[in-house]
């Protein structure tokens, strides 16, 4: 069965500082990996995804993530955080045989200090 762990429940970062959110997954084959962002009162928005190929993927809003098979990780990074990046971030895993089903981690809430 697939599972996703996001070890950090909350992260506080100063505006302009770098951000890294951790994600570890468990899946037997090559997974499909996703990062979503959820702002208060809104649905989920896809930031980026990894299916195969280059292990460093670029997404929207200046985010990037790196797939490391040896560590079963897919960490999200942003070089310089803006106040508008304050939100909850979810890592998710999918699989070819699972249709559209995504398994989500518990989320990391990001607070941005001025």
Partner 1 sequence: DAGVTQSPTHLIKTRGQHVTLRCSPISGHKSVSWYQQVLGQGPQFIFQYYEKEERGRGNFPDRFSARQFPNYSSELNVNALLLGDSALYLCASSFAEIATYEQYFGPGTRLTVT
- Footprint of partner 1 (CB under 8 A): 4, 6, 32, 36, 41-46, 49, 51, 90, 92, 94-96, 98-107
Identify the CA nearest to 76 among candidates 3, 7, 14, 16.
Answer: 7
SS3 76: strand
Q: What does DSSP assign to residue 90?
A: E
91 or 112: whose CB is closer to partner 1?
91
With contact defined as beta carbons under 8 Å apart, do 94 and 100 qualify? yes
**Of residues 32 and 77, the one with the C-beta less far from partner 1:** 32
Question: Least CB distance from residue 80 to partner 1, whole Å?
Answer: 26
- Cβ 90 to partner 1, closest distance in Å? 5
Q: Shortest distance, CB of residue 50 to partner 1, whole angstroms? A: 11
Nearer to partner 1, 10 or 82 (CB): 10
**Residue 94: CB minimum distance to partner 1, A:** 3
């Amino acid at each position: 069965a697939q599972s996703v762990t996001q070890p950090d429940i909350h992260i506080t970062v100063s505006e302009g500082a770098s951000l890294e959110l951790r994600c570890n997954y468990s899946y037997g084959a090559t997974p499909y990996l996703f990062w979503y962002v959820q702002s208060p009162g809104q649905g989920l928005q896809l930031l980026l995804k990894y299916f195969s190929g280059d292990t460093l993927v670029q997404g929207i809003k200046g985010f990037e993530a790196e797939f490391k098979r040896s560590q079963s990780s897919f960490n999200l990074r942003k070089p310089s955080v803006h106040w508008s990046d304050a939100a909850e971030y979810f890592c998710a895993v999918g699989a070819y045989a699972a249709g559209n089903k995504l398994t989500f981690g518990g989320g990391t809430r990001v607070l941005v200090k001025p």
